[in-house]
Structure formats: structure tokens, C-alpha cells
Amino acid sequence: MCVLTCTKYDCAQCQRAISDTEQLKECPESSQGIKCEITTECITENVSADQCEVCEMHRIEAEVAAAAEEEEEAKKANAT
């Protein structure tokens, strides 16, 4: 079992879900000098590995790495 934590940043002025680091550059109200209010929701629960965002991210990274390795091996085989 994994722990799934979701954090949501909502800009009350422009009604868009935006990440903390992108808030100032992407929020039109913030660029016009209007202060956006951020609400954060944290939900933590036990979930199975196939529902865990972190596990899914690691699985995708492993698939990409394996595909890159296979491609590299194919290039080496074709070169010889």
C-alpha cells in the first residue's frame, strides 16, 4: 500500500487550478497586480500501488528508460 497525497492550489480570482510555482507567471489577475488567494487541500489515504501517483510516475520512468535502452541496443546491432 502507498500513501497518496493530493495538493490542490486554486486561484479564487481566475478559477483555475495552478501549481504553486506557476501561480505568479500564469495567473492573469496576479500579473495585473490583483492578489490571488490560494487554498490547499491535502488528502492522504492508503491506496494500492496501481493507484499511487508516485508509483505510476516511477513505472512510466522505468518504461521510458527501458525503451531508450532497447533503442540504443538496436542502433548498436544495426551498426555492426
Q: Number of structural domains, the chain?
A: 2
Q: Identify the pLDDT of residue 21.
A: 47
**Segments of the chain scoring below 70 in pLDDT:** 1-31, 33-47, 49-51, 80
- Report yes or no: 6 and 43 within 8 Å, Cβ to Cβ: yes
Q: Do 37 and 73 fall into the same domain?
A: no
Q: Do 24 and 10 fall into the same domain?
A: yes
Q: Identify the pLDDT of residue 64.
A: 94
Q: Identify the pLDDT of residue 67.
A: 93
Q: Identify the pLDDT of residue 23.
A: 47
How far CA 27 is from CA of 7, 8, 18, 23, 66, in Å, comes to: 18, 15, 8, 6, 38
* Distance of alpha carbon 80 from alpha carbon 74, whole angstroms: 10
Segments forming the whole domain that contains residue 19: 1-47
